[in-house]
């Protein structure tokens, strides 16, 4: 009777392999259009789909696969968490390796499982009133964000250090290491070392999810994951349920003790179908082989331990929170450095849809898209911001719009994308080398990508610090032509703060009007 468990494990590995493949291919690989639907996992996620739809007040065509998952869950139960969820797979691997010997009898009260429902109701209510907080708890968003911002860059760094060391090693070591490095570089390593703001904290939060395994198996999935909560509610009456042929059962209790979700309660014949993720472990280990999964009803499940008061309170809290965020001052005076990706919706709609998954940051060819801290308020945490001193928006690139799972960044054809203004550049004349009479420099102008240059040079007489007049080519910004891509700021040779900077002034997404 171990077939189903083998199948489930196979499914987890396969799905994770697909997840990793799509993650690694969320990158420019000599193709202007990404050949794979790299954002598939987010689009399969009913929580993301529901929150973005509710908060964004829009039918989002992109997320139709989530409907399939929802229907399958209604039909089959909460299989997603056991068979499909890549975060679940990572947690299971951590459990089977690092926490294999953890002693954790009853460390966490059973009642904690209700928190995932409370979080879900909180999120639903706040989404209903346009404040979308799902990103903080959605497992797919967490996983992709963490891999993008934290795990992958760190792994890339370590591997690079190792192979760079071997490359410089004496003797025949490089002859062995270089082919391996070449293979890794072609299929796994990043083209250039990515760096991200907030990388350490994102990594730590993820570590927290894994370390919780020390106290309870699938702690995250049982107690906190609102997607798990949503699927539990949807799948409670699924056709695929655990059932015991009570005649043969010896009440040995193995199944109850081994259940990773604690879904078997009180009596071994009783299953909480909302908690059961159909991992098939109990079926595989039952010495009497009396456990089956079928459409037939077993013993009635224990009631979900949700109090009406809890439900109402969390939903009310979700709704009440909203106005507090809406009176934050950044709504009136947004951070001038809040430059959004090209094709981003107007700020309110954008935040309502953005799931902070980090797909756009992962794919951004120049590493310019970064997670915000508080530039967009607490509400906008981890949403993408173009930090031009780190990287610029490549003029001929449309990748971020291709990967956004909820259309927070619209998918624009290249011709249209080139016309989007992200902001405008200005010259800090007190620091700019020719303006300040220090030396020649035309670096911003030469990199300016627009086809009538938005940065024009004018040769003018300038007083040098030594007191004599000299001719310098000085950059001026043509604001009609500037698209705010930020390459001037990235490439400005001043080593600390650039002398040509981009702010959000003139950006065209709020008005919806495209620039010339």
Exactly one of 246, 289, 297, 446 binds other proteins (CB under 8 A); which one? 446
The residue from 157, 201, 473, 481 that contacts other proteins (CB under 8 A) is 473
- Give the count of alpha carbons within 13 A of 32, CB side only: 10
By CB under 8 A, name the one of 25, 346, 438, 510 that touches other proteins.
Answer: 438
Helix (H) or strand (E) holding 497: none
Out of 55, 69, 397, 483, the only residue in the binding site for other proteins (CB under 8 A) is: 397
- Neighbour count for residue 224 (Cβ, 10 Å): 19
Judged by CB under 8 A, which stretch of 15-23, 219-227, 250-258, 443-451 contacts other proteins? Answer: 443-451
Name the segment binding other proteins (CB under 8 A); options: 116-124, 130-138, 348-356, 393-401: 393-401
Q: CA–CA distance from 101 to each of 9, 42, 217, 282 (Å)?
A: 21, 33, 12, 20
Is 495 a binder of other proteins (CB under 8 A)?
A: yes
* Interacting residues with other proteins between 272 and 311 (CB under 8 A): none
**Choices 73-81, 348-356, 404-412, 445-453; region in contact with other proteins by CB under 8 A:** 445-453
The reply on whether position 468 binds other proteins by CB under 8 A is no
Structure-block tokens of residue 84: 């499909």
What's the distance, CA 388 to chain centroid? Answer: 21
Residues binding other proteins: what is the number (CB under 8 A)? 36
Q: Which sign, positive or negative, has the C-alpha torsion 106, 108, 113, 114?
A: positive
- Per-residue binding letters, 172-211, with other proteins (x by CB under 8 A): -------------------x--------------------
Q: Tokens 């610029």 sit at which residue?
A: 392
Are the C-beta atoms of residues 82 and 8 closer than 8 Å to each other? yes
Cβ count within 10 A of residue 205? 15
- For other proteins, which residue of 28, 99, 373, 426 counts as binding (CB under 8 A)? 28
Q: Quote the least distance from Cβ 468 to other proteins, whole Å.
A: 16
Give the shortest CB-416-to-other proteins separation in angstroms: 17
- Compute the least distance from the CB of residue 456 to other proteins, in Å: 10
* C-beta closer to other proteins: residue 112 or 395: 395
439 near other proteins, rule: CB under 8 A: yes
Tell me how far apart the alpha carbons of residues 411 and 34 are, in angstroms, rounded to a whole number: 12
Q: How far is the CB of 495 from other proteins (least distance, A)?
A: 5
Question: Residues 396, 419, 458, 463: which binds other proteins (CB under 8 A)?
Answer: 396
| 447 counts as binding other proteins under rule CB under 8 A | yes
Give the length of the chain. 516
- For residues 395 and 397, what is the distance between their CA atoms, to the nearest angstrom? 6
Of these, 162, 460, 493, 511, which contacts other proteins (CB under 8 A)? 493
- Looking at beta carbons only, is 164 or 246 nearer to other proteins? 164
Instruction: Confirm or reject binding of residue 51 to other proteins (CB under 8 A).
Output: no
Nearer to other proteins, 267 or 394 (CB): 394
- Tell me, residue by residue from 325 to 364, as one string, x for binding to other proteins by CB under 8 A and - for no binding: ----------------------------------------
How many angstroms separate the most distant Cα atoms in the chain?
103
Q: Between residues 128 and 155, which has the closer beta carbon with respect to other proteins?
A: 155
Our finding on whether 491 is near other proteins (CB under 8 A) is yes
Round to whole Å and give the CA distance between 466 and 244. 92
CA distance 311 to 63: 27
| Residue in this structure with the two tokens 């003139």, named with its chain if needed | 506
Tokens (6 digits) for 417:
């994308």
Cβ atoms of 498 and 432 closer than 8 Å? no
Q: How far is the CB of 453 from other proteins (least distance, A)?
A: 6
Minimal distance, residue 443 CB to other proteins, in Å: 4
Using the contact rule CB under 8 A, the part of the chain among 199-207, 243-251, 261-269, 485-493 near other proteins is: 485-493
Region at 38 (left for phi over 0; alpha for psi -120 to 50; beta for the rest): alpha
- Token pair, residue 268, equals 């071994």
The tokens of 299 are what? 């013993």
139-178 positions binding other proteins, by CB under 8 A:
160, 164, 167
First to last CA, the chain: 67
The single-letter DSSP state of residue 477 is E
For other proteins, the closer CB: 101 or 451 = 451
* Interface region with other proteins, contact rule CB under 8 A, candidates 88-96, 108-116, 194-202, 438-446: 438-446
Are 247 and 91 within 8 A, CB to CB? Answer: no
Q: How far is CA 515 from the centre of its chain?
A: 30
Give the C-alpha separation, 443 to 437, whole Å: 16
Strands (E), 126-204: none
Give whole-number Cα distances, 83 to 49, 354, 374, 478, in Å.
20, 27, 36, 56
25 binds other proteins (CB under 8 A): no
Place of tokens 């086809």: 451
Out of 243, 330, 410, 453, the only residue in the binding site for other proteins (CB under 8 A) is 453
**Binding of other proteins at residue 433 (CB under 8 A)?**
yes
**Binding flag, residue 268, other proteins (CB under 8 A):** no
Q: What does the binding site for other proteins look like in residue numbers (CB under 8 A)?
A: 28-30, 160, 164, 167, 191, 365-366, 394-397, 433, 438-443, 445-453, 457, 473, 491-495
């Amino acid at each position: 009777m171990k077939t189903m468990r083998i199948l489930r494990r196979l499914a987890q590995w396969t799905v994770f392999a697909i997840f990793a493949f799509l993650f690694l291919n969320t990158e420019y690989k000599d193709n202007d259009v990404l050949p794979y639907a790299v954002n598939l996992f987010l689009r399969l996620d009913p929580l993301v789909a529901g929150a973005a739809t509710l908060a964004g007040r829009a039918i989002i065509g992109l997320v139709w696969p989530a409907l399939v998952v929802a229907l399958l869950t209604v039909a089959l139960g909460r299989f997603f968490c056991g068979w499909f969820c890549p975060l679940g797979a990572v947690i299971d691997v951590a459990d089977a390796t690092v926490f294999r010997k953890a002693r954790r009898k009853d460390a966490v009260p059973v009642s904690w499982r209700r928190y995932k429902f409370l979080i879900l109701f909180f999120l639903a209510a706040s989404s209903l009133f346009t404040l979308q907080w799902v990103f903080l708890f959605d497992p797919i968003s967490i996983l992709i964000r963490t891999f993008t911002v934290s795990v992958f860059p760190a792994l890339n760094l370590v591997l690079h250090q190792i192979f760079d060391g071997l490359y410089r090693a004496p003797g025949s070591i490089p002859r062995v290491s270089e082919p391996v490095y070449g293979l890794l570089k072609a299929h796994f390593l990043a083209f250039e070392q990515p760096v991200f703001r907030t990388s350490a904290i994102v990594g730590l939060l993820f570590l927290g999810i894994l370390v919780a395994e020390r106290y309870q198996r699938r702690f995250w999935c049982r107690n906190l994951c609102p997607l798990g909560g949503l699927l539990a509610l949807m799948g409670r009456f699924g056709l695929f349920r655990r059932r015991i042929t009570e005649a043969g059962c010896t009440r040995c209790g193995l199944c109850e003790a081994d259940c990773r979700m604690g879904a078997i309660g009180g009596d071994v014949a009783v299953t909480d179908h909302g908690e059961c993720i159909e991992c098939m472990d109990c079926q595989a280990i039952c010495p009497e082989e009396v456990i089956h999964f079928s459409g037939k009803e077993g013993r009635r499940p224990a009631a979900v331990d949700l109090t009406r008061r809890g439900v109402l309170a969390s939903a009310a809290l979700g709704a009440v929170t909203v106005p507090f965020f809406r009176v934050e001052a950044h709504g009136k005076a947004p951070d001038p450095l809040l430059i959004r990706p090209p094709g981003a919706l107007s700020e309110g709609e954008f935040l309502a849809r953005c799931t902070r998954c980090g797909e756009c940051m992962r794919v951004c060819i120049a590493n310019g898209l970064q997670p915000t801290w508080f530039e967009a308020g607490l509400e906008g945490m981890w949403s993408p911001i173009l930090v031009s001193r780190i990287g610029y928006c490549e003029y001929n690139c449309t990748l971020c719009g291709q990967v956004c799972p909820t259309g927070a960044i619209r998918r624009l054809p290249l011709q249209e994308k080139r016309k989007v203004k992200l902001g405008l550049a200005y010259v800090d004349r007190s620091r700019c080398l020719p303006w300040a009479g220090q030396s020649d420099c035309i670096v911003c102008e030469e990199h300016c990508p627009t086809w009538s240059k938005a940065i024009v040079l004018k040769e003018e007489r300038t007083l040098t610090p030594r007191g004599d007049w000299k001719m310098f080519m000085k950059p001026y910004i043509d604001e009609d032509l500037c698209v705010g891509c930020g390459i001037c700021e990235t490439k400005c040779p001043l080593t600390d703060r650039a002398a040509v900077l981009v702010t959000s002034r003139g950006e065209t997404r709020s008005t919806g009007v495209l620039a010339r």
